Amino acid sequence: MQLEGTAEITQDGKSFVLKEKALAIVPGGIPYSVNYPERGSKIILRIPYRVFHERLIGREVRDFGATLLEGGLVPIIISLLTSLTLGEKSRLTDIDQFMLAESFLSMIGSVICFRRKLGSRENEKNHSARLCRILSYIEENFSDHELTPGRIAEANFVSIRHLHGLFQQRGTTVSKWLWNRRLGAGREDLLDASKASMTICEIAYSRGFNDSAHFSRAFKDRFGVSPREFRMKAGRGVLMDG
């Protein structure tokens, strides 16, 4: 904690400036550096790993790197920390010091857990926005015969693993989504009277399939009838929705 001045803290590629009325938590097991660009004063409190990991934070929060804490409960935490470490300590009984330490640890844990929950929600929002962008890209390009998960990932600046993870969280796969979109578009074309002159083979190729036989098998698996039978029933007006 900086009482006066500032400190530049760097750990594991992450850097931030610690100013007055803010706290920094820095795990001791990971190399870090602290730079003081100006004269100032500070309080450094060492908390045993066991207390920090098990008692303070709890099992729900995993290890993390250097973290800046400010706002919210932090001013109260700073007041407690000051009471525990500076001149007022001599006027406190052992019981008072113990109770202040308990309050300090409890509030630090609450602040960190709250930040973690906010971070999880923010990650979820970011994932949703990224998935929407990817789905829009697929919608614009699914008829391209050469569209693959690899190309989708590259075009959207994500790794293949991350791409598959986004779809897995929604209970599907990239390939299944792409396949169903192509089949759905083929079905729409078979219903479209303006495309009655197109052969089933032409429709299959226009919707990203390289093999009309493969299209026919996949179509029947998906909709229960072959493309030819589907088109005939559509022409007679005997199709059910679905």
Please choose, from the candidates 56, 65, 84, 60, the residue with its C-alpha nearest in 3D space to the C-alpha of residue 24: 65
- What per-residue confidence (pLDDT) applies to 77? 78
Whether 226 shows a pLDDT value over 90: the answer reads: yes
Residue 118 confidence class, pLDDT cut points 50, 70, 90: low
- What per-residue confidence (pLDDT) applies to 46? 80
Can you spell out the DSSP letters for 137-185? HHHHHTT-TT--HHHHHHHTT--HHHHHHHHHTTTS-HHHHHHHHHHHH
The fold for domain 181-236 equals Arc Repressor Mutant, subunit A (1.10.10)
Backbone angles phi, psi at 215, to 5 degrees: -60, -45
More confident residue, 59 or 214: 214
Domain-by-domain residue ranges, the chain?
2-122, 123-174, 181-236
- Give CA–CA dist 184/188, Å, rounded: 6
More confident residue, 237 or 173: 173
The one-letter amino acid at 14: K
Whether 215 shows a pLDDT value over 90: the answer reads: yes
Whether 125 shows a pLDDT value over 90: the answer reads: no
Question: Which residues have C-beta within 8 Å of that of residue 112, sequence separation ≥ 6?
Answer: 25, 57, 61, 67, 69
pLDDT tens track for 178-213:
998 999 999 999 988 899 999 999 999 999 999 999
pTM over 0.85, yes/no: no
Q: Which residues pair with 24 in a beta bridge?
A: 68
Please choose, from the candidates 33, 32, 45, 31, the residue with its C-alpha nearest in 3D space to the C-alpha of residue 3: 45
- What per-residue confidence (pLDDT) applies to 122? 56
pLDDT tens track for 100-115:
777 777 777 777 766 6
pLDDT tens track for 42-99:
888 787 776 666 555 544 444 556 777 777 777 877 787 777 776 566 676 777 777 7
Using the 8-state DSSP alphabet, how is residue 239 labeled? P
